[in-house]
C-alpha cells in the first residue's frame, strides 16, 4: 500500500514538474500564432535594430577578416592574371556598351516618334552583403545600408550578373533583402527570345526557381533566358533572372513547370547594386512577394 502511494505521489509530482514547461511552451506557441498573423517579429526587429545590427555586424567580422586576409595573401602573379582577365572583360563590355549606346539612341528616337514614355536609366548605389539569415530554408540576407542611408522598402537589388532580389525590411543601419530564391518571393518575368510572360516563383533553395503552370503551347525552351518583364512596376524591365534548365510534369499532369537556374551570384563581402526607385508609375501594385514579413 505504502509503495503504491509512493509511486502515485512521485508520478503526480513529476507531472507537476512539467507544468512550468507546458506554461512557457503555450506562451511560445501563442506568440508564434500572433507573429504568423500580424508579423509581430518584424515590428520588434525594426524597433530593436540598434541592438540587433551590432550582433549581425559582429558575426560578419570573422568572414570579413578572412576575406581581406585572402586578398592580402594573394600571389602577385595571381593578381596580375586577375587584372588581365578583368581588363579583357572590360574591353568586351565596352564594345557591347558602344553598340548598346547606338541602339539606345535609336530606341529613344523611335519612342519619341511614337510619343511613348521615355525609359529612364536607373540610378544605382553600391551596397555590401554582410550576413545572411541563418535559417537555411530562408533565402534572405542583410546589407550594410539602412534607413539612415535612405534605403527604402521595395528597392531592387542586382549584381553584376542579374536580379538578386528586393529590400524587404529596413532597419537603422542595415536592411533585409529577400532573394528571388526565397519561397515567399515571386517575380514577373518574360522569355527574352519569345516575349512569353509568366511569374517566376522562388523555391527556398539555391539550385532553381519554378516557372509554374505552363502549357504545351507556351513558347518556352530549355536554355531560354528569362528577364524581368516590368509588369507590376516593382522591377524595371530587362534584368536577367534565370535560364530555363529543365521541364517537369506537375503532379496533377495538367500543366508543365520549368526549373530555372538563377543567374545572379551574390556572396559574402561582395558588392551589390541597389537600384533607386524610378520616377515613374511605380507603387501601383503591391510588392511582388506574396506575404509580408518572415514566413
Partner 1 sequence: MIRRDTPLLRWFSIALAFVLMVLPMPAWLQALRPFVLALVVVFWALETPKHMGLFRVMLIGLMLDLAGFTLLGESALRLLLIAGFVLQFRSQLRFYPVWQQSLFLMALLYLDMLLLWVLRAVQQVPLPPMESWLSPVLAFLLWPWLYMLLDNIRMQNRLK
Give the binding site for partner 1 (CB under 8 A).
Answer: 14, 17-18, 20-21, 24-25, 27-32, 34-36, 40-41, 44-45, 48, 52, 55-56, 58-60, 62-63, 130-138, 140, 176, 183-184, 203-206, 268, 294-295
Long-range contacts of the stretch 39-44 (C-beta < 8 A, 24+): 39/292, 39/293, 39/294, 41/293, 41/294, 42/169, 42/292, 42/293, 42/294
Closer by beta carbon to partner 1, 32 or else 79:
32
HSE, side-chain direction, 13 A CA sphere, residue 55:
9
Q: Hey, what's the cell of 259?
A: 526549373
Residue with cell string 540610378 = 123
d(CA 130, CA 127): 9
Secondary structure string (H, E, C) spanning 240-259: EEEEEEEEEECCCCCCEEEE
Closer by beta carbon to partner 1, 60 or else 191:
60
Q: How far is the CB of 252 from partner 1 (least distance, A)?
A: 19
Q: How far is the CB of 106 from partner 1 (least distance, A)?
A: 42
Closer by beta carbon to partner 1, 53 or else 229:
53
Q: How far is the CB of 63 from partner 1 (least distance, A)?
A: 5
Closer by beta carbon to partner 1, 176 or else 191:
176
Closer by beta carbon to partner 1, 6 or else 18:
18
d(CA 127, CA 164): 12
Q: How far is the CB of 136 from partner 1 (least distance, A)?
A: 4
Q: How far is the CB of 137 from partner 1 (least distance, A)?
A: 4
Give percent helix, percent strand, percent coil of the chain, each to the nearest 5. 40, 25, 40
Pairing of strands 271-275, 225-228: unpaired
Q: How far is the CB of 231 from partner 1 (least distance, A)?
A: 26
d(CA 273, CA 156): 8
> Dihedral sign, CA of 48, 52, 54, 57?
negative
Residue with cell string 545572411 = 132
Closer by beta carbon to partner 1, 52 or else 225:
52
Q: How far is the CB of 48 from partner 1 (least distance, A)?
A: 7
Closer by beta carbon to partner 1, 12 or else 135:
135
Closer by beta carbon to partner 1, 41 or else 122:
41
Q: Hey, what's the cell of 8?
A: 502515485
Q: How far is the CB of 133 from partner 1 (least distance, A)?
A: 4
Instruction: Give phi and psi for 149, each to the nearest 5.
Output: -95, 5
Amino acid at each position: 500500500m505504502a509503495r503504491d502511494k509512493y509511486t502515485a505521489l512521485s508520478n503526480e509530482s513529476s507531472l507537476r514538474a512539467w507544468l512550468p514547461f507546458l506554461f512557457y511552451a503555450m506562451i511560445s506557441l501563442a506568440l508564434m500564432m500572433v507573429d504568423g498573423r500580424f508579423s509581430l517579429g518584424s515590428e520588434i526587429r525594426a524597433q530593436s535594430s540598434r541592438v540587433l545590427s551590432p550582433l549581425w555586424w559582429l558575426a560578419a567580422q570573422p568572414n570579413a577578416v578572412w576575406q581581406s586576409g585572402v586578398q592580402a595573401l594573394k600571389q602577385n602573379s595571381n593578381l596580375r592574371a586577375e587584372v588581365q582577365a578583368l581588363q579583357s572583360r572590360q574591353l568586351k563590355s565596352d564594345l557591347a556598351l558602344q553598340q548598346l549606346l547606338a541602339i539606345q539612341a535609336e530606341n529613344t528616337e523611335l519612342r519619341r516618334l511614337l510619343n511613348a514614355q521615355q525609359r529612364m536609366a536607373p540610378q544605382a548605389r553600391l551596397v555590401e552583403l554582410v550576413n545572411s539569415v541563418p535559417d537555411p530554408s530562408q533565402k534572405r540576407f542583410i546589407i550594410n545600408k539602412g534607413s539612415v542611408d535612405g534605403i527604402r522598402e521595395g528597392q531592387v537589388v542586382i549584381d553584376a550578373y542579374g536580379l538578386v532580389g528586393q529590400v524587404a525590411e529596413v532597419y537603422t543601419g542595415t536592411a533585409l533583402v529577400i532573394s528571388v530564391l526565397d519561397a515567399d518571393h515571386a517575380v514577373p518575368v518574360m522569355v527574352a527570345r519569345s516575349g512569353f510572360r509568366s511569374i517566376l516563383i522562388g523555391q527556398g533553395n539555391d539550385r532553381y526557381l519554378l516557372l509554374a503552370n505552363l502549357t504545351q503551347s507556351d513558347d518556352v525552351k530549355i536554355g531560354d533566358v528569362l528577364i524581368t518583364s516590368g509588369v507590376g512596376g516593382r522591377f524595371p524591365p530587362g534584368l536577367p533572372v534565370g535560364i530555363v534548365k529543365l521541364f517537369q510534369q506537375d503532379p496533377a499532369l495538367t500543366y508543365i513547370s520549368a526549373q530555372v537556374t538563377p543567374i545572379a551570384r551574390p556572396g559574402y563581402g561582395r558588392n551589390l547594386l541597389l537600384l533607386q526607385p524610378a520616377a515613374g508609375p511605380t507603387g501601383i501594385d503591391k510588392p511582388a512577394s506574396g506575404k509580408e514579413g518572415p514566413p
